[in-house]
Structure 1
Amino acid sequence: MHFTDSDTLVFIGDSITDAGRDRTDPSSLGNGYVNEIARTLNARAATGHKADPAPRIINRGVNGHRIRDLAPRWTTDVLDHRPTHVTVKIGINDTWRRYDRGLLSPVPEFRAALDRLLDLTARHTTARLTVITPFLLPVRPDQHAWFEDLQPRTEAVLRAAADHKARIVRADLVLEQAARHHAAAELAHDGVHPTPLGHRLIADAWLSTAEAVSPAQGPDGG
């Protein structure tokens, strides 16, 4: 896919998307994968190729948000921008809050909420949808237990994406593969929040997925 200056790319989710963006500046992209994607697309535009003028990129990630926090702001943070491409990255806080605060986010309810947001986007825009899977690279022994909650949640994300013909960025697999060559903390210092290297890998995976000929056809990404 070639983006043009008529495209508006909206990224929404939790702190991994937020990545320290300045909430007082609507154009702030933070210091994470969204900014890395923007840098790459802007660099391509700077080469002068007419096929790749830079699109408008909007970051609406919010630190700490779970799926329940997205619905109240979906209209203003997504639909009102009339996006041509919407990327959602959500889920790890729904798991994390179970283990550090005892706040439950049942997977069926999580899946239903994500379905509603993707359906709402499809009904009110012509935007192409992309979903980034949640991920975890345990750096503490207790984090291994989180997979009991995270694995079915990731499967729910994959099925919701497939049902809505969304492109799927398998951040979980990308970082898992990278962890064969890097210590987990080199990719996500606390197991959840990516380092610059981790963000770059997610950005590269997003760009590769966006440039694919067709979206993934099933929950396995195949």
Structure 2
Amino acid sequence: MAVTPGGGPHREEDRLHPPSTVLFQGDSITDAGRDRTRPADLGHGYAALAAARLPGGPTVLNRAVSGDRLADLRKRWDTDTLAHRPTLVSVLIGVNDTWRRYDSAQHSLIDTWEHEYHQLLTRLHTHCAPRLVLIEPFLVPVTAAQWSWREDLDPRIQAVRRLAAAHGALLLAADGLLNQASRTAGDPALIAPDGVHPSPLGHRLLADAWTALLSDAPA
């Protein structure tokens, strides 16, 4: 049995069997309008698109909550993540921590934010040792004011990259992916109308990248 640095064990049998329970976690980008009264509902975004392509018919859960910052995710980590004992976890969090700094003067320090994220992932590995996908928070600026958000968001993206390396996680480099797509499209609003929430095209690009990341990576 091999153990990735800072991460959970990668068993030889995992190479033969796809994950049995996949859990998507995060904020409104992942929530994507899911119906909270229906536990199996996956919303209308990249998580639902990616789930439809998973082989083997795993149980797929979406427990993202619109508006969440990392502190909010931390409060519900036990009930909405650990309690399900997932075999694969995908997390996208961070843009609301940046957003609230600029619209509500609620500033979370990057070092503290990274440490708390690290603690969540460490607890996850200790609890059930799933495969892990970390998705970078991203911003596709559609207004001049949003360019100033990069001062806060870029260090969070770098933190997620460090966390992915430390925890043996697959990393989806979403920020570069979607910003390149916006340049190709000629209009950032075609990818994320408000700069944060993806359009249907943006969600499809995320789902494509997420699926390719798992398909190309060793189990």
TM-based fold match above 0.5: yes
What is the CA–CA distance in structure 1 between the aligned matches of 2:17 and 2:47, rounded to whole Å?
Answer: 15
Structure-1 residue corresponding to 2:167:
164
Structure-2 residue corresponding to 1:85:
88
Once the two structures are TM-superposed, the CA of residue 181 in structure 1 deviates from its matched residue by 1.4
Q: Does 1:98 align with 2:97?
A: no
Structure-2 residue corresponding to 1:21:
34
Q: Does 1:60 align with 2:63?
A: yes
What is the CA–CA distance in structure 1 between the aligned matches of 2:182 and 2:190, rounded to whole Å?
Answer: 8
What is the CA–CA distance in structure 2 between the aligned matches of 1:207 and 1:75, rounded to whole Å?
Answer: 27
Superposition RMSD in Å: 1.4
Distance change (3 Å), C-alpha of 1:179 and 1:158: same
Q: Which runs of 5+ in 1 are unaligned?
A: 42-51, 216-222
Correspondence for 1:9 among 22, 25, 28: 22
Structure-1 residue corresponding to 2:50:
37
Confirm or deny: 8 A CA contact 1:3 1:55 kept in the other structure: no
Please give the residue correspondences for 1:106-185 in structure 2 after superposition, counting only pairs within 5 Å. 106-182=109-185, 183-185=187-189
Once the two structures are TM-superposed, the CA of residue 16 in structure 1 deviates from its matched residue by 0.3
Q: Does 1:70 align with 2:73?
A: yes
Correspondence for 1:189 among 185, 189, 193: 193
Structure-2 residue corresponding to 1:203:
207
Once the two structures are TM-superposed, the CA of residue 214 in structure 1 deviates from its matched residue by 4.1
Provide the secondary structure at the position in 2 that maps to 1:136: coil
Once the two structures are TM-superposed, the CA of residue 75 in structure 1 deviates from its matched residue by 1.2
Which residue identity is paired with 2:166? D
What is the CA–CA distance in structure 1 between the aligned matches of 2:120 and 2:174, rounded to whole Å?
Answer: 21
Alpha-carbon deviations, 1:71-91, whole Å to 9, x = none? 121111111111000011000
Give structure 1 regions of 4+ aligned residues with deviation exceeding 3 angstroms.
1-4
What is the CA–CA distance in structure 2 between the aligned matches of 1:92 and 1:70, rounded to whole Å?
Answer: 13
What is the CA–CA distance in structure 2 between the aligned matches of 1:89 and 1:174, rounded to whole Å?
Answer: 15
TM-score w.r.t. length of structure 2: 0.89
Confirm or deny: 8 A CA contact 1:91 1:153 kept in the other structure: yes
What is the CA–CA distance in structure 2 between the aligned matches of 1:107 and 1:196, rounded to whole Å?
Answer: 31
What is the CA–CA distance in structure 2 between the aligned matches of 1:40 and 1:127, rounded to whole Å?
Answer: 19
Provide the secondary structure at the position in 2 that maps to 1:158: helix
Q: What is the count of residue pairs matched by the alignment?
A: 204
Alpha-carbon deviations, 1:2-21, whole Å to 9, x = none? 864x6100011000010000
Confirm or deny: 8 A CA contact 1:3 1:54 kept in the other structure: no
Distance change (3 Å), C-alpha of 1:166 and 1:113: same
TM-score w.r.t. length of structure 1: 0.88
Structure-2 residue corresponding to 1:44:
none
Once the two structures are TM-superposed, the CA of residue 212 in structure 1 deviates from its matched residue by 2.1
Alpha-carbon deviations, 1:149-207, whole Å to 9, x = none? 01111101110111111110111111022112111100101000001100010011111
